[in-house]
Amino acid sequence: MPVLLALSAAVLWGSSDFLGGVASRRGGRVNAVTLGTQLTGLITYIPVAFLIDGRLTVADSAWALFAGCSAGFAIYLLYIGFTKSHTGVVAPIAAIGTAAIPALFGLATGETLSPSQAAGVVLGLIAIWLVGRPNTRPDPAGRSSGAGVIYGVAAGCGFAIMFIALDQLTAESGGWGVIPLRIGGVMIMLAVSRFRRQPMVAIRDVWLLILTAGFIGSLGNLAFIVATRLGNLSIVAVVSSLFPAATVTLAYLFLAERLSRIQISGVVAALTAVALVSGG
């Protein structure tokens, strides 16, 4: 069950990132798109929260709020990366830090893995790296792989902090942790927008993309929180970090971003890694 929930989180996050990236590329103002996804994710998730049992302590709220601030800024960096580089470069590079840092943290704090699970974790990290290998074909839009790596690394560190912080929530918090998580994202993006003196409202043409990205992103957060309650952070973090497979696949289908043979092998390796981890 934890692996299935983590995989669900990966699919939902990857789809949300794709939609947010498309909105950003369509001139939706990156800060406004990020703020919009955080705000709509919060508003649309509230009815869902009332259907789920849970009780937040002060500590739970603080950890989730901190996680949200880190995640909101990481998403902002990720969307900037999407406007400057290929989706297939930025998202997988971000996933390397997203997976590796929490996995190392989990092992350092006493979590253990079976041999097959350990092999799955290692293969998962390799898969992320393979998917993130840039396509060597010239880019007619002039996007830079180097910029994609820089923004991907920065975003990955932010997501890793979110993973570690959400793992601190108590089991009693249920799905209510998503609410302070999204509030944190809204707060950090209001601060960024004000500091950079940028408009806070995206253009009307991308509102539906923002609404959809925000809601399914919140569902991904819920799936991840429940997964960490039921399984090891070391495993859940790596499986959840396979979200680039969804992002890259959607970019291939709808944006004509072609995958190289190495990237395709990375997707295959990712699926194999999930099988090893879940079979442990």
Q: Which amino acid is at 280?
A: G
Q: Does residue 34 contact residue 72 with C-beta atoms inside 8 Å?
A: yes
Confidence of residue 132 (pLDDT cuts 50, 70, 90): low
Report whether pLDDT(63) > 90: yes
Confidence of residue 141 (pLDDT cuts 50, 70, 90): low
Q: For the whole model, what pTM was predicted? A: 0.80
The segment with the largest mean pLDDT, out of 73-87, 207-221, 252-266, is 207-221
Residue in this structure with the two tokens 């580089």, named with its chain if needed = 85
Looking at residue 201, the DSSP 8-state letter turns out to be S
Report whether pLDDT(61) > 90: yes
d(CA 136, CA 47): 46
Strand segments, DSSP code E, in 57-129 are none
**Tens digits of residue pLDDT in 222-249:** 888 888 878 877 778 778 877 777 877 8
Residue in this structure with the two tokens 């495993």, named with its chain if needed = 235
Percentages of the chain per state (helix, strand, coil), in multiples of 5: 80, 0, 20
Residue spans per domain, the chain: 2-279
CB atoms within 10 A of CB 150: 18
Closest of 45, 88, 32 to residue 206, by C-alpha: 32
B/e letters for 168-187, b = 16+ CB within 10 Å, e = fewer, are bbeeebbbbbbbbbbbbbbb
B/e letters for 73-97, b = 16+ CB within 10 Å, e = fewer, are bbbbbbbbbbbbbbbbbbbbbbbbb
d(CA 191, CA 275): 42
SS3 140: coil
Q: Does residue 93 contact residue 127 with C-beta atoms inside 8 Å?
A: no
d(CA 121, CA 228): 16
**Tens digits of residue pLDDT in 144-196:** 556 777 888 899 899 889 989 988 888 888 788 889 999 999 999 999 988 88
User: How confident is the model over 36-57, as a mean pLDDT?
Assistant: 86
Tokens of 274: 């999930």
Confidence of residue 143 (pLDDT cuts 50, 70, 90): low
Q: Does residue 2 contact residue 230 with C-beta atoms inside 8 Å?
A: yes
Greater confidence, 214 or 106?
A: 214
**Tens digits of residue pLDDT in 65-88:** 999 999 999 989 988 888 887 777
Q: Does residue 91 contact residue 243 with C-beta atoms inside 8 Å?
A: yes
